[in-house]
Amino acid sequence: MIGAGRFAPSPSGDLHIGNLRTAALAWLTARSSRRRFLLRIEDLDAQRSRASYADRQLADLHAIGIDWDGEVVRQSQRTSLYREALDVLVRGGHTFECYCSRKDIREAQSAPHADAARYPGTCRELSEGERADRRNSGRPPTIRLRSPRGEYAWEDLVLGPSASTPDDVVLARWDGEFAYNLAVVVDDLDQGVDQIVRGDDLADQTATQIHLIELLSGTTPEYAHVPLVLNRHGQRLSKRDGAVTLADCAVQGISRERVVAQILESLGSVGQRTLRESVADFALADLPTAPWIFVSPADC
Ligand code: GLU
């Protein structure tokens, strides 16, 4: 079977130019390596996800020349797959129940010598009696991954040799909602995704995901973590930076052709006008390594 790349947006707002650029990179990398390209809507977070945002995201991707194979998949309709995978992990002894509130975790992380970005380990080694006490207190547990302590290394197509340590991430929340790291791994395996191109803000999650893939007997895909887009002050691009979505651009009279041209220019692609025209000459290795500083065409 030929492999697949994918783009997997969370429908919590319109895609901004940085998201569109990452999607273009994922599409170009898949198409130039003759892979299928899949679109998956990561809408498990019921509070932040809106179907109307998903529709607009798909329309914007289409508008800049991205196409995809097969039906768009929505994570909210695939929860039985996540349940099965979670059962495998629980039965294998690779999980533990966590009774911490967000506040408990924040406090433990701010203790001297604690790592502020990782789960502090509070519930990892609870005895049977301690667990029974917590259960009786009425607080339903989240299910966390019991991750190994060592490093995982991967050869990143953009970052080069990379490594990080898996974290005890949440797999299922106390209210039964499945979490990002479980769903993303289950879906990529189920959909035959063997190439993941995404923003480098997710590079830290990669070791955890490689570990989960191994526990679920899957094959590790290739990874490319691409730099996020920054504003002229070197900060992550946000709504405050002017015309950053296609809708903003349209209001200001900036055509989508101009947006596509700007994205292609940022990829070091010279002389091509559409994504499709760029496929033949595209190579991730040619991607400029410096972050792209975005200046809205309205401000040029
Ligand atoms: N849904 C994630 C996001 O929008 C992307 C997940 C992934 O590419 O692994 O940031």
Instruction: Enter the tokens of residue 92.
Output: 């294998």
Is CATH 3.90.800.10 what the domain over 80-85+92-172 is classified as, yes or no?
yes
Residues with CB under 6 A from ligand 1: 8-10, 42, 184, 198, 202
Helices 206-215, 79-91: inter-axial angle, 10-degree rounding: 80
Percentage of the chain modeled with pLDDT above 90: 79
Tokens 């400029």 belong to 288
10 CA to middle of ligand 1, Å? Answer: 7
- Please provide the DSSP assignment of 250-274 as one string: HHTT--HHHHHHHHHHHTT--S--S
The count of other CB atoms within 10 Å of the CB of residue 74 is 17
44 CA to middle of ligand 1, Å? Answer: 12
Tens digit of pLDDT for each residue in 67-116? 999 999 999 999 999 999 999 999 999 999 999 988 999 999 998 888 88
Is CATH 1.10.3720.10 what the domain over 4-77+227-299 is classified as, yes or no?
no
Domain boundaries of the chain, sorted by first residue: 4-77+227-299, 80-85+92-172
233 CA to middle of ligand 1, Å? Answer: 25
Tens digit of pLDDT for each residue in 144-177? 999 998 999 999 999 999 999 999 999 999 999 9
The distance of Cα 267 from the centroid of its chain, to the nearest Å, equals 20
Q: What does the pLDDT average to over 110-139?
A: 90
| The pLDDT of residue 15 | 95
